[in-house]
Amino acid sequence: MTALSTHSGSLDAWMGEHVEGLIALRRHMHTHPELSGQETATTELVAERLALAGLTPRRLAVGTGLVCDLEPTTPSSAPAFALRADLDALAMADEKGASYSSQTPGVAHACGHDVHTAIVLGAGLYFAHHPDQLPGPVRLLFQPAEERVPGGALDVIADGGLDDIGAIVGLHCEPKLDVGTIGLKSGPISSAADMAVITISGPGGHTARPELTVDLVTVAARIVRELPSRVDSQLAAGGFGSGEVKLVFGAIHAGDAANVIPTHCTLKASIRTPLIEVWECLPELVEQEVMSIIADTDAGVMVDYTHGVPPVVNDGDVTATVWIAATDTVGAESVVPVEQSWGGDDFAWFTRELPGTYVRLGVRAPHGPTLDLHAGMFDVDERAIGIGVRLLVETVRQHFAPPR
């Protein structure tokens, strides 16, 4: 029997025994989601499962999140290969009505982080139970606060989580792809995602006499209406194509009474771009255009611009390795190219430090509805968990294998 068939047979047997447990673990996390930076119970749950397998996870200095190293039985001087998962949930309602729906009001795993965690844990447990099949050192990263700008990946880096790592792979649920399909892309696969809070102020007054004061709601409306097109025009004038930025306001608050012109108004916008060059110039450009819009209004203004995350840029060689692993896992016909997304992910901080690739894992039930990420009805076909474990196990094997 060949080494490959032995390996595959062992993985088949292990998955037959453990995949239902991984699904149950995912459902437990789905029922008990925790917000960014508050993933205490989730961290404890993962740490407990790793410890039961004889591993020694280390909690991050920030209090949540884990790093866990797996060493091969044959000593290796090769840099470690990292597998990353994210632990946190979103501040939103779970509207599915499933038996495992969130029991925490206003918090839900609507982005699939519970699935990512179950998959990386499963890959780690497989190698913990089969140390003779671990071809080189592997580090499991269970990261907190992916949903919080600028992201918990920076906490992992600050805590030495990437020390002695040669390459990294992560995966993300993709509800536009059927379960059993794996999407890959070399180069940029996500977009930069920033946030701006614009606070404008004035003396206030009576709505019967708006000409005697600064009508802040009208000023706010002007900012909402003009800022996106002004930023786009300035970028086009600077040599970039039109449409390279999505500047969208998600929140506005000003006053409480219909007959009172308020003294303060706050606007919150998300700002996204697929281009790293645009991302780097956006803070100055957004503030400049806000100032221009309100220049003739006598309103005061403060622009608090927060750089979120840059685009995730997938390394060509690491992506090629995953492509081989994916082909071996699901077949060549089920490995598909994907486009760069307007969504952001703090996995970008990892790919700025070392070679890596971010994988799109199909989770849509065949012939089922396409439920977008961050939607109250979001759910997955849980067969994706077993596929994800197989993919990561095979990716580890391919990473340390001699070139074909």
* Distance separating alpha carbons of residues 119 and 113, to the nearest angstrom: 10
What secondary structure does DSSP assign to 291-359, as a single string?
A: HHHHTTTT-EEEEEEEEEE---EE-HHHHHHHHHHHHHHH-GGGEEE-PPPS---THHHHHHHS-EEEE
The residue extents of the domains of the chain are: 3-189+311-400, 192-307
Structure tokens at 268: 């919150």
- Helix or strand (DSSP H, E) at 165: strand 165-178
CATH topology classification for 3-189+311-400: Aminopeptidase (3.40.630)
pTM of the shown model: 0.90
Place of tokens 């070399």: 186
Closest CA to 384 of 176, 178, 148: 178
The whole-number mean pLDDT for each consecutive block of 10 residues of the chain, a chain of 404 residues, reads: 56 96 98 98 98 98 98 92 98 95 97 98 98 96 95 97 98 97 97 96 96 96 97 93 93 96 97 94 97 96 95 97 97 97 96 97 90 92 98 97 76
* Distance separating alpha carbons of residues 33 and 12, to the nearest angstrom: 30
User: Could you tell me which residues are beta bridge partners of residue 138?
Assistant: 70, 81
* Distance separating alpha carbons of residues 151 and 154, to the nearest angstrom: 6
**Amino acid letter for position 186:** S
Answer yes or no: are the C-beta atoms of 214 and 224 closer than 8 Å.
Answer: no
Q: What is the pLDDT of residue 204?
A: 96
Answer yes or no: are the C-beta atoms of 217 and 297 closer than 8 Å.
Answer: no
Q: What is the pLDDT of residue 4?
A: 45
Backbone dihedral region of 65: left (phi > 0), alpha (psi from -120 to 50 degrees) or beta?
Answer: left
* Distance separating alpha carbons of residues 371 and 112, to the nearest angstrom: 12
Query: Does the N-terminal peptide bond of residue 150 adopt cis geometry, omega within 30 degrees of 0?
Result: yes
* Distance separating alpha carbons of residues 241 and 239, to the nearest angstrom: 7
Structure tokens at 157: 């880096």
Residue count of the chain, please give it: 404
CB half-sphere exposure, 253, CA atoms < 13 A = 5
Q: What is the CATH number of domain 192-307?
A: 3.30.70.360
Q: What is the pLDDT of residue 404?
A: 62
Return the DSSP state at 135. Answer: -
User: Could you tell me which residues are beta bridge partners of residue 170?
Assistant: 84, 358
Q: What is the pLDDT of residue 2?
A: 38
CB half-sphere exposure, 208, CA atoms < 13 A = 0
* Distance separating alpha carbons of residues 348 and 351, to the nearest angstrom: 5
The tens digit of pLDDT for each residue in 265-276 reads 999 999 999 999
